[in-house]
Chains A and B, each alone.
Chain A
């Protein structure tokens, strides 16, 4: 041990001096080029090694990350699912709102054309317990100024009339119900008749039977009906579109002529309706009817709802 001590110290001293020299060289800006070569060599060695290790350990690394993220992942998933539900509900609500807004707009349009004063309402239920009569329930009642025998319309035309009124609800007899009769006249003419509902029980495809008072009056398919109006505006205000003549039934020997009429409104999908609480000052005649569709489309009912029914 003793004998080797100077040599050991020499080696150690040389190594330490070299280290210190390197540190000094590297930390000085102007002499750093000496060590830059060494760094470049180190990089050349390191890059393939590092790439190899990366390739070999990437599955392990992924697993490690997945494991460290696992406790939070459950929460994160729950959070995202919750958020997803909220957003879906919001989206559906928005669609519904848009639809309601469109229906209300149509309703406003119709009431504006006819000069009716209406109370908007939402159709709540359709079926009564027996299922005989074709009625709907509205979410408006006496407190909203609704009285029996008021006309109910929606953006497309006549829906029916108010049958009974509660404090917060009102029952509406639809114009397709078998017990419903509406005084109506042909568009642009003074031929009058009575539109009877034909539904005896719930039947979506039921149409209206229009009975002309004058047996000689001419009626052809594609002509449209509006309400005639009753005395005092009850039960029906004048000028509301009722439907389109689909087929004229010319029964030989019959005292009256009858025609099958497709309702202007889609009875199957009522949502927003309006109750006419005040009749117009003067008869709007045919002004509420939308512009006559093209000749091709004349055979078909003019609105989408009626098309659905066919």
Chain B
């Protein structure tokens, strides 16, 4: 059940991002990144490997779908790393309610920065000083602005599902090496 919602969430995020948000006539030519938020939402309630797989698959989808004009694998690399790192953080009740949004901001900023850095390494002519000073912070800010719309319902749903579903044996931490799906 949880796995199904995860897949649905990721597919939904990718499709909405590619088909709707990327074509909105937003100022400065960039919009919030729902995919990063979806990966954060999945990774927060999962393990590092779960986050990495989610990030890799969605990133690969974003790399392949048409509006993308960068090298295939670039987004997958960055999102995979991001998902892994977010997955290493714990979403425990001890943290304040703002914790997921803080993580989302960090993730968005990191993904924007990592994407630009990979571009710099690959010699992307569009990456310049303005990218780091202006676009990466703007990208992270916009993503955080819309994050409550996605993160709040998704996290609530996932908590609800974890509480009600009797954990089967594959979810036991001693089976899968501390993997909390």
Q: Which A residues contact B (CB, under 8 angstroms)?
A: 1-5, 7-8, 11-12, 15-16, 18-23, 25-27, 35, 38-39, 41-43, 45-47, 49-50, 52-53, 57, 64-65, 68
Contact = CB atoms under 8 A, between A and B. Distances in A.
A43 B66 contact: yes
Majority secondary structure, B binding face: helix
Which among A4, A21, A53, A68 has the highest number of chain B CB atoms within 10 Å? A4
A22 B52 contact: no
A8 B49 CA distance: 6
Nearest to A17: B77
Contacts of A39: 64, 66, 72
Given A22-B72, A35-B72, A12 B178 contact: no
Interface string B47-74: 1110011001001110111100001111
A12 B54 CA distance: 11
Interface of B: 15, 18-20, 23, 25, 47-49, 52-53, 56, 59-61, 63-66, 71-74, 76-77, 80-81, 84, 118, 122, 176-179
Which among A2, A20, A23, A35 has the highest number of chain B CB atoms within 10 Å? A23
Nearest to A5: B177
A7 B66 contact: no
Nearest to B16: A53
Given A16-B77, A20-B73, A38 B49 contact: no
Contacts of A4: 47, 176-179
B31 to A, nearest CB: 13
Given A22-B73, A22-B76, A26-B71, A53 B19 contact: yes
A21 B73 contact: yes
B24 to A, nearest CB: 8
Contact of B71 (A2, A23, A47, A52): A23
A266 B56 CA distance: 92
Contacts of A42: 61, 64-66
A50 B176 contact: no
Nearest to A50: B19
B177 A26 contact: no
Nearest to A21: B73
A66 B59 CA distance: 35
A198 to B, nearest CB: 77
6 contacts: A4-B179, A8-B48, A15-B80, A27-B122, A50-B19, A68-B25
Nearest to B175: A4
Given A41-B64, A53-B20, A19 B56 contact: yes
B66 A46 contact: yes
B19 A49 contact: yes
B64 A38 contact: yes
A261 B91 CA distance: 111
Which among B19, B61, B73, B118 has the highest number of chain A CB atoms within 10 Å? B73
A79 B92 CA distance: 62
A12 B52 contact: yes
Contacts of B49: 7-8, 11-12
Contacts of B61: 42
B72 A23 contact: yes
A49 B74 contact: no
B25 A64 contact: yes
B18 A49 contact: yes
A296 B77 CA distance: 98
Contacts of A47: 66
Which among A39, A43, A47, A52 has the highest number of chain B CB atoms within 10 Å? A39
B65 A46 contact: yes
Which among A16, A20, A38 has the highest number of chain B CB atoms within 10 Å? A16
A46 B177 contact: no
